[in-house]
Amino acid sequence: MTLWQQLDERFNTLQRREQLMIWASTLLLTLWLTFVYVLEPLWQAGNSYRDRLASVEKQHQEAQQLATTLRSELGTDADAEYRQRITQLEQQQRELTAQITQSTSHFIAAEQMVALLHNLLQSSSGVQLKQLTTAAPKAVLLAGQTEADTPLLYQHQLTLVINSNYAALLKVLNDIEQLPWLVNWAGLRYHVTDYPSADMTLELITVSEHEDFIRL
């Protein structure tokens, strides 16, 4: 008789209650073994997958936040402030250029002043040029400029001393007044040296974009 047959005979001799207990124990053992060797690994694997999924979702959220931040930063023009400043500077430059043009358009150019005076005196009979000097140029501040800014315009002053009689000197003054350019007078002095000869000192002002334009 085999072992299985012996166990079957012994099981049949048991009371109904004992048989049910054995069946229940066997079922519980089977369920427990199924849980330990099958369900538990699957459950642990499921937990692992859930943890990995949560990690991936977190990384995805962080990536979305980073993308949103980058889009926001890229949407903001980082050079806008500099371009606005450049536009303002260009506008200031145009305004200053207009001021320079307006300031110099009616004045005789500094580089023309000396040659023009020489020609004027040569055409005036009996007038002698005794002295011609220039003062240090002075910076002219335009609207919107401060003393710290680079000057864009300079004032030049010429002083000439001429000698002749009253009529000839008066003609020189009239000729200067008739010039098509505006000449500013800084001063005029008349001094009789040996009648009817007299010295007349003229201080004339012109403007230029160049600091050292007048050279004698």
* HSE value, Cβ hemisphere, 13 Å, CA-based, for 190: 12
- Asked if the model's pLDDT at residue 102 lies above 90, the reply is no
Burial zone of 158 (CB within 10 Å; 0-12 exposed, 13-18 middle, 19+ buried): buried
* Amino acid letter, 32: W
| The predicted structure's pLDDT at residue 1 | 54
Burial 39-69, CB ≥16 within 10 A → b, else e: eeeeeeeeeeeeeeeeeeeeeeeeeeeeeee
**CATH topology for 108-208?**
Alpha-Beta Plaits (3.30.70)
- The verdict on pTM exceeding 0.75 is no
Confidence class for position 209, pLDDT limits 50, 70, 90? confident
| The predicted structure's pLDDT at residue 177 | 80
- Asked if the model's pLDDT at residue 216 lies above 50, the reply is no
| The predicted structure's pLDDT at residue 171 | 87
* Average pLDDT of the chain, as a whole number: 72
Token digits for 201? 């000192």
* Range ranked top by mean pLDDT from 125-139, 142-156, 201-215: 125-139
Q: How far is CA 25 from CA 19, 28, 32, in A?
A: 10, 5, 10
